[in-house]
Each structure stands twice: as C-alpha cells, then as structure tokens.
Amino acid sequence: MDIFAFIDGGARGNPGPAAIGVVVRDADGNVLFEEGKTIGHATNNEAEYQALIHLLEKCASDPVLRASGAKTLHVRSDSTLLVMQITGKWKIKEPRLRALYDDVQKVKDELPFALRIRHVPREKNKEADKLVNQAMDAQKN
C-alpha cells in the first residue's frame, strides 16, 4: 500500500498572511488526514515548503500513518519551484528557502517509507488549495 498526499501553500500579499493545506489519502482514496492552517507571515514559496514540512512531520509522528504499511509517500504539489528544488533539478539561491529545504531533509530521514514528489497542475490540487483558502478566510474573521 502507498500513501498519496496533496499539498499547497499560499500567501495573500506575497509576503503576507499565509496558510497551508494538506490532504493524505490511502491507495483506495480514503482520507487519512487533512488540514488547513495559518502559518503567520510568509511568501508563497515559503508556504509551499511549510506545507511539505507539515506533511512530513505528520507522517513521521502519526502512529496510524507510520503503521499503515505504506512503502512510499507520493506527494503532489502545484509548485514547480518546490518540486524542482526538492528533486535537485533547480538550485536554491534564497537563504530562507535553503533553511526550509534543510528542514525537509531532516524530517524526510524520519519517515518509515520512501518519498516521491511530483508536480501536478493546479486543477489537480483543488482540495489542498481549498484548505489553504479556508484557513486564510477564517483568519480574517
């Protein structure tokens, strides 16, 4: 069995108030975990990285996800920059993103399964995007 995750991050104002969205499903499409939450002030790219870090921390610490028997965590993101930097195809020039990249590498080592990440078009990432927007909308109230 593998686990499939969709992640998104966004900031209004870039930088500005930011939020992340994470949806984790099993191979049958059942939701194992979903969350949208604000993360304070960030850029869009920082929010994308924070979404990935949040996902990896959840997968590393959650007993149900750890015990799922999954061999691979398949992550889908609509952030080309995030995917290309995590896969080593693009250099990381921004120091704040380098620090977040390093955080990803640390948490990745704690996972009980392999990590695969790939880019998907925005229209294939609507659930995570919806969670980001709901979290930011709730923050305004």
Query: What domain range is 97 assigned to?
Result: 3-140
* Number of domain units in the chain: 1
Look at the block and give the residue holding tokens 């896969």.
87
Residue-level pLDDT at 28: 94
Task: Determine whether 45 is exposed, middle or buried from the number of CB atoms within 10 Å of its CB (0-12, 13-18, 19+).
Answer: buried
Q: Per-residue confidence of the chain (141 residues) as pLDDT tens digits?
A: 899 999 999 999 999 999 999 999 999 999 999 999 999 999 999 999 999 999 999 999 999 888 888 999 999 999 999 999 999 999 999 999 999 999 999 999 999 999 999 999 999 999 999 999 999 999 876
Tokens of 39: 């993360």
Instruction: Indicate if the alpha-carbon torsion angle 132, 135, 139, 141 is positive or negative.
Output: positive
Residues for the chain: how many in total?
141
pTM for the full predicted model: 0.96
Q: Which CATH number characterizes residue 59's domain?
A: 3.30.420.10
Cβ neighbours for 17, distance < 8 A, ≥ 6 positions apart: 11, 38, 40, 41, 136, 139
